[in-house]
Amino acid sequence: MIDKPKIGIIMGSDSDLPIMEKAFAVCKEFNVPFEVKIISAHRTPDVHAEYSKSAASRGIKVIIAAAGMAAHLPGVTAGHTHLPVIGVPISSKNLDGMDALMAIVQMPPGIPVATVAIDGAKNAALLAIQILAVSDLELSEKYIQFKKNMALDSIKKNDGLKY
């Protein structure tokens, strides 16, 4: 039996896939089931609205929404669901992702969207894992071990220093 996805990862275009694959890797590392959809707030607004409105009833607990340029996907998603939404601003050739970052950060009161760094898909997935870990002891223990391992890896880097 395949577990129902707990994290929904959406993006407006397949051009976002190379960045968002970092989020897929984190979900796999923590063995958290996830789904990936290409859904545009502009090109497929009805599909997007249905996805966002039905996510909770399908078992999704957190949505990660990638968006470049005008970056409407995370905000519109948050407007359609009560679930936590994490926005990943995607870099672009024109404004290096600053347009997307500002659009996601500047949400109106009552429609919060957590925001990570430009192209910060890995941190978006780690934040989603932390949110899920609040009510999942096994996942919480995995995350605590992840943080310990990260610290140990950092300390080990001192072993090879030569100056």
**Mean pLDDT across the chain, nearest whole number?**
95
Q: Is the pLDDT of residue 116 over 80?
A: yes
| Residue 128 CA, distance from chain mean position | 7
Identify the pLDDT of residue 62.
98
Tell me whether residue 157 is in a domain.
no
113: left (phi over 0), alpha (psi -120 to 50) or beta: beta
Question: Into how many domains does the chain fold?
Answer: 1
Q: What is the dihedral of CA 32, 79, 115, 37, to 10 degrees?
A: 40
- Whether the Cβ atoms of residue 13 and residue 38 lie closer than 8 Å to each other: yes
Q: Is the pLDDT of residue 18 over 60?
A: yes
Identify the pLDDT of residue 93.
81
Q: How confident is the model at residue 68 (pLDDT cuts 50, 70, 90)?
A: confident
Tell me whether residue 152 is in a domain.
no
Range of the domain at 49: 7-136
- The enclosing domain of 93 has a CATH number of 3.40.50.1970
Identify the pLDDT of residue 56.
98
Q: How far apart are CA 79 and CA 130, in angstroms?
A: 22
Percent of the chain with pLDDT over 70: 99
Q: Is the pLDDT of residue 70 over 80?
A: no
Identify the pLDDT of residue 163.
84
3-state helix, strand, coil in the chain (%, to 5): 50, 15, 35
| Average pLDDT value for residue range 38-63 | 96
Q: How far apart are CA 119 and CA 156, in angstroms?
A: 27
How many C-beta atoms surround the C-beta of residue 159 within 10 A? 6
Tell me whether residue 159 is in a domain.
no
Cα separations in angstroms, 12 against 20, 31, 58, 122: 11, 25, 21, 18
Q: How confident is the model at residue 138 (pLDDT cuts 50, 70, 90)?
A: very high
Q: What is the dihedral of CA 4, 7, 13, 19, to 10 degrees?
A: -130
Q: Is the pLDDT of residue 1 over 70?
A: no
Tell me whether residue 43 is in a domain.
yes
Identify the pLDDT of residue 161.
84
